């Protein structure tokens, strides 16, 4: 008499499991992915899970390290063409966040330390290429370096700073190469050195200064090589 309830339970449990399996990784009559999908690697570790609608990824997708720890969360929209993404180190700290457009980095991306979570750098992208300003930061939050990009190439003003925010040196890029005037500074603001670049190489006269403004020496460069030295 006690067997019948057990048989009924097993019947419903097996049907539930069959339904659960059928509700994952399914396609419709047209072969389009629908509903919840989950991918496993050859060792059986979960790679990702997320949802599809009419063949397109929608909503939240989660990606995992082989040990099961969360690696990435992406929020997809516009038939999978847009994705807001956050990536995590294996210790759980967020190490990057930004957006993709047509699977290419787009807009502002931020990168963080996996040790203490502090902001390390920011980069701006358009269609996968760096465009606009890129910054690296000191642990105190001040900018350490500022470089500008156009279509993936360094272009325009290039500045490095001391950790108190004062300028360490200032130069320029043109076509991804150092070009034009370059000036270095002491922490107190006095000029340390001055010169210029041509096609990525030191060129012409470079002057080196004491902190009191006195000239230490002047070197003359041609295509990056010193051709003349003059000490004061």
CATH number at residue 224: 3.90.930.1
Query: For the chain, first and last CA: distance in Å?
Result: 109
* β-sheet bridge partners, residue 119: 112
At 4 the pLDDT is 53
pLDDT at 2 over 50: no
16 — pLDDT class (breaks 50, 70, 90): very low
Instruction: Answer yes or no: is 193 within a domain.
Output: yes
pLDDT at 74 over 90: yes
Beta strands in the chain (DSSP E): 26-27, 33-40, 46-53, 56-64, 70-77, 82-88, 94-101, 104-112, 119-126, 129-130, 132-137, 143-150, 153-161, 167-174, 177-178, 180-185, 191-198, 201-209, 215-222, 225-231
Q: Which residues of 95-131 are buried (b: 16+ CB within 10 A; e: fewer)?
A: bbbbbbbeeebbeebbbbebeeeeebbbbbbbeeebb
Please give the average per-residue pLDDT across 96-111, as a whole number.
Answer: 97
What CATH number does residue 46 fall under? 2.20.110.10
- Judgement on whether residues 103 and 178 belong to the same structural domain of the protein: no
- Judgement on whether residues 175 and 107 belong to the same structural domain of the protein: no
pLDDT at 13 over 50: no
At 230 the pLDDT is 85
Is residue 205 left, alpha or beta, with left meaning phi > 0 and alpha meaning psi from -120 to 50? beta
Report the SS3 class of residue 196.
Answer: strand
Please give the average per-residue pLDDT across 41-60, as a whole number.
Answer: 96
Tens digit of each residue's pLDDT (9 = 90 or more) over 131-170 = 999 999 999 999 999 999 999 999 999 999 999 999 999 9
Phi, psi values for residue 72, rounded to 5°: -145, 140
Tens digit of each residue's pLDDT (9 = 90 or more) over 187-203 = 999 999 999 999 999 99
pLDDT at 214 over 50: yes
State which of 85, 118, 151 marks the end of a domain: 118
pLDDT at 15 over 50: no
What is the distance between the alpha carbons of residues 193 and 198, in angstroms, rounded to a whole number? Answer: 17
Instruction: Answer yes or no: is 8 within a domain.
Output: no
Distances 156 to 11, 119, 152, 170 between C-alpha atoms, Å: 72, 24, 13, 11
pLDDT at 112 over 70: yes
pLDDT at 177 over 80: yes
At 22 the pLDDT is 57
21 compared with 222, residue with greater pLDDT: 222
- Judgement on whether residues 68 and 40 belong to the same structural domain of the protein: yes
Each as own residue / partner, the long-range contacts of residues 34-40 (CB below 8 Å, 24 or more positions apart, any chain) are none
Give the DSSP letter of residue 214.
-
Domain residue limits at 205:
131-232
Instruction: Answer yes or no: is 192 within a domain.
Output: yes
Please give the average per-residue pLDDT across 78-100, as a whole number.
Answer: 97
232 — pLDDT class (breaks 50, 70, 90): confident
- Judgement on whether residues 137 and 76 belong to the same structural domain of the protein: no
What is the distance between the alpha carbons of residues 69 and 48, in angstroms, rounded to a whole number? Answer: 11
Where helices occur in the chain by DSSP H, the ranges are 3-22
Q: Answer yes or no: are the C-beta atoms of 194 and 182 closer than 8 Å.
A: yes
Instruction: Answer yes or no: is 16 within a domain.
Output: no
- Judgement on whether residues 139 and 110 belong to the same structural domain of the protein: no
Domain count, the chain: 2
Is residue 111 left, alpha or beta, with left meaning phi > 0 and alpha meaning psi from -120 to 50? beta
What is the distance between the alpha carbons of residues 25 and 226, in angstroms, rounded to a whole number? Answer: 66
């Amino acid at each position: 008499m006690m067997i019948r309830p057990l048989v009924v339970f097993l019947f419903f449990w097996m049907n539930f499991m069959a339904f659960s399996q059928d509700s994952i990784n399914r396609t419709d009559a047209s072969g389009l992915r629908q509903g919840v999908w989950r991918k496993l690697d050859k060792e059986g570790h979960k790679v990702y899970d997320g949802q599809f609608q009419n063949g397109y990824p929608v909503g939240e997708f989660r990606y995992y390290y082989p040990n099961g720890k969360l690696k990435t969360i992406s929020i997809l929209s516009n038939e999978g063409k847009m994705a807001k993404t956050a990536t995590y180190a294996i210790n759980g700290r967020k190490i990057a966040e930004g957006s993709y457009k047509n699977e290419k980095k787009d807009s502002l991306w931020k990168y963080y330390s996996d040790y203490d979570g502090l902001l390390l750098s920011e980069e701006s992208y358009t269609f996968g290429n760096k465009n606009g300003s890129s910054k690296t930061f000191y642990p105190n939050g001040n900018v350490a370096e500022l470089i500008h990009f156009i279509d993936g190439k360094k272009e325009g003003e290039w500045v490095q700073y001391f950790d108190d925010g004062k300028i360490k040196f200032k130069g320029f890029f043109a076509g991804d190469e150092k070009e034009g005037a370059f000036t270095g500074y002491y922490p107190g603001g006095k000029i340390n050195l001055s010169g210029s670049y041509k096609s990525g190489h030191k060129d012409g006269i470079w002057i080196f200064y004491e902190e009191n403004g006195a000239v230490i020496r002047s070197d003359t460069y041609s295509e990056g090589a010193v051709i003349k030295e003059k000490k004061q």
